[in-house]
Amino acid sequence: MSARRTHVSAIVNGDPAEFLTDPGATLLDALRDTLGLTGSKEGCGSGDCGACSVILDGRLVCSCLVLAVEAEGRRVETIEGMADGGRLHPLQQKFLEHAALQCGFCTPGLLVASKALLEVNPDPTESEARYWLAGNLCRCTGYDKIIRAVLDAAAELRQEPAKRRETV
């Protein structure tokens, strides 16, 4: 019937995480069902909506397209690791200030994707932000306030480089 479960050791949001998984399970399954990190969402299971976005060894990926076993020895960053303790990341704060979320379901994926954007391009144009985030579907907002929040957060992060850089 099902194959032998595999032991995986990874670093999740900066902390060591160990879990057992079916070889065929996705990283999204492991995060949500095994590690209890339900912030990453399944919207489609086929890599078309971005609601499951995480950062894997510094690369933005859909966790529904990564096998849990592939996370062995790798660093995973999820929405749950974005705030610094009780202090929201500027992106999170700007999303709230700009009302860049309505139902909030796509929001974790969008925040992770936006964080990844600003790490490679701290001063994106509106067009660059839109194309980078094209893999994150939102059905509620029409994207307007999301893009404004991202560009506003980018501006804030450019002004205070020492204070806010993430270290994982």
Partner 1 sequence: MSQVDFIAPTSADQAVQALLAGGGGARPLGGGTDLLVQLRSGRLAAGLIVDLKRIPEAIGVRKVDGGFVIGAATPGIALGEHRALGLAWPGVVEAANLIGSTQVQGRASMAGNLCNASPAADSVPALVAARATCLIVGPAGRRMAPAETIVVGPGRTSLAPGEFVLEIHLPPRPLRAADAYLRSIPRTEMDIAVVGAAVNLTLDAAGIVTDAHVALGAVAPTVLLVPDAAAALVGSPLDADALARLDQAARAACRPISDKRGTAEFRTKIAGVLARRAATLAHGRAGKRV
Partner 2 sequence: MTDVLERPATAPLDDGRLKVVGGRPIRPDGADKVTGKAAYGADFALPGMLVGKVKRSPHAHARIVSIDTRRARAVPGVKAIVTAADFPDLASEEYEAGESASNLRDLAHNVMARDKALYDGHAVAAVAATSSAAADEALALIDITYEVLPHVIDIEAAMAPDAPLLHPHLFTAGLAARPDRPSNIAKRNEITRGDLTEGFAEADVIVEGRYTTAAVHQGYIEPHACVATFAADGQAQVWSSSQGQFMIRAYCAKLLGLDSSNIRVTPAEIGGGFGGKTTVYLEPLALALSRQCGAPVKMVMTREEVFRATGPTSGAVMTVKLGAKADGTITAADVVLKYQAGAFPGSPVGAGSMTALACYDIPNFSIVGHDVVTNSPKVAAYRAPGAPIAAFAVESAVDDLALKLGMDPIAIRMKNAVRDGTKAAYGPTYRDIGYVETLEAIADHPHYAAPLGPGQGRGVAAGFWFNIGGESTAAVNLSEDGSAVVITGNPDIGGSRASMAMMAAEVLGLPMEKVRPIVADTASIGFSMLTGGSRTTFATGMAVIQAAQKVVEDLKARGAMLMDVAKDQVAFIDGAVVCLDPAKGKGDLTIAAIAAKSAQTGGPIGAQVSLTAQGAGPGFGVHVCDVEVDPETGHVTVLRYTAAQDVGKAIHPAYVEGQVQGGVAQGVGWALNEEYVFGADGRMDNAGFLDYRVPVASDLPMIDTVLVEVANPRHPYGAKGVGEVPIVPPLAAVANAVRAAIGKRLTDLPLSPPKIRAAIDAR
Q: Which residues in this chain contact partner 1 in the complex, by CB under 8 A?
A: 1-4, 6, 22-26, 45-48, 50, 53, 56, 59-62, 64-67, 69-70, 72, 113, 116-117, 131-136
How far is the CA of 134 from the CAs of 18, 53, 67, in angstroms?
33, 12, 23
Write each residue from 138 to 167 as x if it is in contact with partner 2 (CB under 8 A), else as -, in one continuous string: xxxxxxxxxxx-------------------
- Least distance in angstroms from the C-beta of 45 to partner 2: 6
> Residue 145 touches which of partner 1, partner 2, none (CB < 5 to 8 A by kind)?
partner 2
Q: Which is nearer to partner 2, 73 or 155 (CB)?
A: 155
Provide the token pair at 12. 């999740």
Helix or strand run (H / E) with residue 7: strand 6-12
3-state secondary structure of 150: helix
Strands (E), the chain: 6-12, 15-21, 53-56, 59-62, 75-77
> Residue 96 touches which of partner 2, partner 1, none (CB < 5 to 8 A by kind)?
partner 2
Contact 99, 147 (CB under 8 A): no
Name the region of 101 (left: φ>0; alpha: ψ -120 to 50; beta: rest): beta
Residue 44 binds partner 2 (CB under 8 A): yes
**Residue 50 gets which letter from DSSP?**
-
- Least distance in angstroms from the C-beta of 51 to partner 1: 10
d(CA 94, CA 146): 9
d(CA 111, CA 104): 11
Residue 19 binds partner 2 (CB under 8 A): no
- Least distance in angstroms from the C-beta of 45 to partner 1: 6
Residue 119 binds partner 2 (CB under 8 A): no
Positions that interact with partner 2 (CB under 8 A): 1-2, 22, 32, 37-46, 48-49, 51, 78-80, 82-83, 88, 92, 95-99, 101-108, 111, 126-127, 129-131, 133-148
